[in-house]
Structure 1
Amino acid sequence: MTTTTLTTIDTLNELIQVCRDGAQGFHAAAEAVGDSKLERMLYDLSGQRTRFVGELRQCVLRQNGEPFGSGSLGGAVHRVWMSLRDAISTRNAITILEDCERGEELALSAYRDGLATLVEPDVVQVVRAQAIEVQVSHEQLRTWRYERMCRAS
């Protein structure tokens, strides 16, 4: 394997870990949020991240790599999503959404970093499309949080 291919596989595996953490974090948030509309949206985001994992795994396999590895950024994202557990215990929707937003910010950073290292057009296309969806979900989370803050005041 070439150095470029190995870098691509490592980058994709980091994104797989980021998406797995996101799927678990959104699922936990959905179970705890106590608002049926918001719950459905968070479950949808969890499902989206699970779909992303599948797409990224396919990219790794096309590179003749072994899907899923861990990277340092994956650890940072994981820590943010695990801090969500503390917010969940309060069942405070605003706090849960703040933590979800923070996780999305780190995910966006991982996608930006990943896109800076990827060169294969088919892989770039998949990762870029996912990054756009992460950006949209980040903006949705911010809107949902803002709406709840306005209601609370």
Structure 2
Amino acid sequence: MQNEKTVSVLNDLLNITNDRIEGFSKVEDKVWDTYSPLKSDYDEMVNQSQTMKAELMSLITQRGGDPDNTTSTAGAIHRAWIDLKNSFSGDKAESTLENVVFGEEAAIDAYQDALDSGDLCPESSRVVSDQLHHLKSSYSKFSNLNEMKN
């Protein structure tokens, strides 16, 4: 039973990680004209997300589960909202990066909830805790956008 709970929680985190990857694909290159200091951090976040995805899929498989390699419904709705909001936004670069920050906050909350649930096995807790650390580090780099403009 514990394994099923662990797999379920890990699959939820996999969906959230896939949401991040999908969300990152919405950031257009023109954003970096205004926020060039964040470009390397952003690239690192994209790469880190791919690593996190692989780690979660491995943990799920090791526990006899099938990775749910999809995005969440909430993430799809949020991305549709971002598209709509950006179509009316005056400052698309800032608005786009504010959405990155919002997504990172949601991911941090989900990861913390997963750790607090008590449903993760020790190895999974360690990996999820490490991933949460990376999320918080990324979030801190993007949380003060106004200070980052050229």
- TM-score norm. by structure 1 comes to 0.81
Cα shift readout 1:20-55 (whole Å, capped 9, x = no counterpart): 110121132153524354344323212211110100
- The aligned counterpart of 2:83 is 85
Q: 1:5 to 1:53 in 2, by over 3 A?
A: same
Are the counterparts in 2 of residues 9 and 60 from structure 1 also a CA contact under 8 Å? yes
- The aligned counterpart of 1:141 is 142
- The aligned counterpart of 2:126 is 125
- The aligned counterpart of 1:50 is 50
Q: How many residues align?
A: 145
Query: Separation in 2 of the partners of 1:66 and 1:79?
Result: 25
Where do 1:92-103 residues align within 5 Å? 92-103=92-103
Of 10, 13, 25, the match for 1:12: 10
Q: 1:86 to 1:47 in 2, by over 3 A?
A: farther
Amino acid aligned to 2:141 = Q
Greater percentage in helix: 1
Are the counterparts in 1 of residues 5 and 120 from structure 2 also a CA contact under 8 Å? no
Q: 1:128 to 1:81 in 2, by over 3 A?
A: farther
Instruction: Please state whether the residue corresponding to 1:52 is helix, strand or coil.
Output: helix
Are the counterparts in 1 of residues 31 and 93 from structure 2 also a CA contact under 8 Å? yes
Gaps of 5+ in 2: none
Query: Separation in 1 of the partners of 2:114 and 2:69?
Result: 14
How far has the Cα of 1:77 moved from its partner? 3.4
Query: Separation in 1 of the partners of 2:32 and 2:84?
Result: 15
Query: Separation in 1 of the partners of 2:44 and 2:81?
Result: 21
Q: 1:10 to 1:66 in 2, by over 3 A?
A: same
Q: Percent identity, aligned pairs only? A: 24
- The aligned counterpart of 2:67 is 67
Gaps of 5+ in 1: none
State the structure with bigger RCO (CA 8 A, min sep 6), 1 or 2: 2
Are the counterparts in 2 of residues 81 and 103 from structure 1 also a CA contact under 8 Å? no
Q: 1:30 to 1:128 in 2, by over 3 A?
A: farther
Query: Separation in 2 of the partners of 1:99 and 1:39?
Result: 15
How far has the Cα of 1:87 moved from its partner? 5.3
Q: 1:44 to 1:133 in 2, by over 3 A?
A: same
- TM-score norm. by structure 2 comes to 0.82
Amino acid aligned to 2:11 = N
